[in-house]
Chain A
C-alpha cells in the first residue's frame, strides 16, 4: 500500500514538474467533450435536435495543453474590493465611475456586493461572505466590467484618451493594427501580460460583424469586456 502511494505521488510530482505534454496529453481531448456535454447531449436528446452531434458541439478540439495542470487547483477568488480596485487602476476610473445601476446604485458597495464576494455585517447582518461564487456571480461580474469599460470609452471619447489611445474612436472601422494595439494595451492593463498570437487573432474578430465593420467605440467596449471578464483576471 505504501509503495503504491509512493508511486502515485511520484507520478503526480513528475507531471507537475514536466512542462512537456507527456503527462497531460491524454487529458487534452476531454476538454472539448467535457464542456459541450452538458448542453449538447441533454438538450439534443430531449428535444430531438441532437442527431447524435450534441456532445462537444461548438468546440473545436483543443491542442494538447502546453502547460502542466495544477493538481491542487487552489485558486483564490478576486472579490468585490479587489475587482473594483483593479478596474479603477486598469481603466483609470474613480471609485464612483466603475459601475452604478440605474446610474445611482453602486454595484460594488450595494447591488452586487454579495454575489461579488462581499458582505455587509452592519446594515444587512451578513457576518460571513460567500465561500465560493454563486450562480449569479458571473452576471454580476459582467455588469461591473461592462459598465467600467463603457465608462472608460465614454471618457476617452469626451476628452483626451487615456486608455484607448491607439484607436480613432470617432472613425467608422478598426484596422488590424489598431485592433492589435488596443488588445495588447488592454491585456497589459487588465491581465498584466501580453496577449498570445492566437488571443490577438480571436479578439481581432470583434472588428467585423459578418462583413460589416464594427465601430471602434463598440470594438473597444467589447474587447475590454471580453478581456476584463476572463477567469484569469477573476481567480488567482
Chain B
C-alpha cells in the first residue's frame, strides 16, 4: 500500500483482511490515516472493527477513535449492536477515552452493571475525565454530580482493580469541580473509606486512595 492510499482503499483493506494479523495491520493504517484526515466513513469502519472479535484490531480501533474524538461519539452510540457484548465493551473504552458527555449514560451503566471488570474499570476512569469545560453551568453541575454518584457507588465493587479505578476517577473528577463544597466532601469521604485498612483489604487500593486524599484541593 502506498502513502497515497485513499480512505476507501484503507477501508477496503480492513473489510477484506483475511487473517487476524492482516486485520490488525489494516486497522492501524486506517486509524493513522484518519487521525490526519478525519472522514466519517473511516470512523464508521473503525466502529465496525469493534464488533469483529479481534482484540488486537479493536485496541487499534479504540485508540484511533479516541484520537478522532467528538466525531466518533454519535457512531459509537448509534451503531452498536446491543447483543454484541465485545463491541459494547470496546465502545465503553473508546467513550471513556474521548470524554464527551454524551457517553455519560453508557459509562454509568457500564460501571454499575457490566460483567467485565476491565469494562467497569474503563468506565470508572472515564467518569472522572468527561470534559465539563464549555458546557452551560447548569449542565456542568448535573453531569459532575452524576459522575460523582456513579463513582461513589463504585467503591463497593467486588474487584480491586475497579475500586482502584474509582479512586483515580474521583481524583480526576474533583480536579474539575468548581466550588461545590458538598461534592468535594463526598469525594473525600469515599476516598477515606478506600484508604481505611478496616474497610479496604487491598493494599494498593489503600495506597492510591491515600495519595488521592493528599492531592485533594483545600
Decide whether A and B assemble into one complex.
Answer: no
